[in-house]
Amino acid sequence: MKCGFLEAPFIYGQTMRVLVVEDDALLGDAIQAGLKQSGYAVDWMKDGASAEQALATEPYAAVVLDLGLPRLSGLEVLRRLRSRNAPTPVLILTAMDTVDDRVKGLDAGADDYLVKPFDMGELAARLRALIRRASGKTEPLLKVAGVELDPAAHRVLCRDKPVELSAKEFAVLHALMLNAGKVLSRAKLEEQLYAWGDEIESNTVEVHVHHLRRKLFPELIETIRGVGYLMPRDKAS
């Protein structure tokens, strides 16, 4: 089995699903586009009530939450989230002159904040730090047949060599390794790749599996015709 690898430094894409709650259309669109470019799957809600519903039904790696929202304030969304003992990292967005809002947000359970206007690079970096701290507590290293995946560091090694994967390739590999010995349907894998409302390309899973076989080795992932994909349990270590 030959593992593909890069000798150059490897930049690992994020594969986490993030909820953005922002009622300003221009700012929300910019945040969504910037985070998608960084490799996140992004759901964007424009009011507090919709955000509350999304948080009650979907697990998120992190939340970017504006405090000044219609229908339900961002502060109330945060309080309700913490009242359920949800550990989801929350980064709040506040206006430059609202020190009281920042204090109230942090007291209500926010993990970090950014003052508008802000740099998209800083937002992405702060989210990475929040998710790294949260996920690093619970996600172990995964090892299958000489392939090692570190969810917290977003790092993949094949026979101790770093392997370059796109964000979506990382997401597919992560799901298959977590479920070694189980067949995952294409629909289940698509859930790891797309946010609500995204248009799903008909062959996207097949393309990413093909790339993983080429970059790692062909025998790692089996196709179960008409059902889905399998990473055999007997290859897990």
Tens of pLDDT along the chain (237 residues) come to 445 433 222 223 335 789 999 999 999 999 998 888 777 889 999 999 999 999 988 889 999 999 989 999 999 999 999 998 888 999 999 886 678 888 888 899 999 998 888 888 788 888 888 887 876 555 578 888 889 988 767 789 988 889 988 878 888 898 898 888 899 888 888 876 765 455 666 788 899 999 999 999 889 899 999 899 998 875 444
Say if residue 173 is in the same domain as residue 127: no
- Integer Cα distance of 211 and 214 in angstroms: 5
Backbone angles phi, psi at 158, to 5 degrees: -125, 110
Give me the CATH number covering residue 169: 1.10.10.10
CB neighbours of residue 108 within 10 Å: 20
Q: What is the pLDDT of residue 133?
A: 81
Take residue 45 and report the two structure tokens written for it: 């809600």
Asked if 28 and 94 sit in the same domain, the reply is yes
Q: How many residues does the chain have?
A: 237
Report the CATH number at residue 25. Answer: 3.40.50.2300
> Could you list the residue range(s) of the whole structural domain that residue 176 is in?
142-235
CA dist., res. 31 & res. 173, Å (int): 27
Instruction: Please check whether residue 11 lies inside any domain of the structure.
Output: no
Cβ pair 171, 193 in contact under 8 A:
yes
Partners of 221 in beta bridges: none
Query: CA-to-CA distance for 234 and 237, rounded, in angstroms?
Result: 8
Same domain as 129, residue 35? yes
Per the listing, tokens 């593992």 go with 3
Number of domains in the chain: 2
Which of residues 81, 103, 135 is at a domain's end?
135
Q: Write phi, then psi, for 182 (nearest 5 degrees).
A: -115, 145
Sign of dihedral through CA atoms 157, 158, 161, 165?
A: negative
**Letter string b/e over residues 148-186, b meaning 16 or more CB atoms within 10 A of that residue's CB:** bbebbebbbbbeeebbbbebbbbbbbbbbbebbeeebeb
- Whether 33 is covered by a domain: the verdict is yes
Q: Of 45, 95, 47, 94, nearest to 70 (Cα)?
A: 47
Q: Which pLDDT score, from 0 to 100, does residue 234 have? A: 57
Cα 79 → chain centroid: 23
User: Are 131 and 22 members of one domain?
Assistant: yes
Shared domain check, 205 and 116: no
- Per the CB < 8 A criterion, the answer to whether 31 and 20 are in contact is yes
Domain shared by 121 and 156, yes or no: no
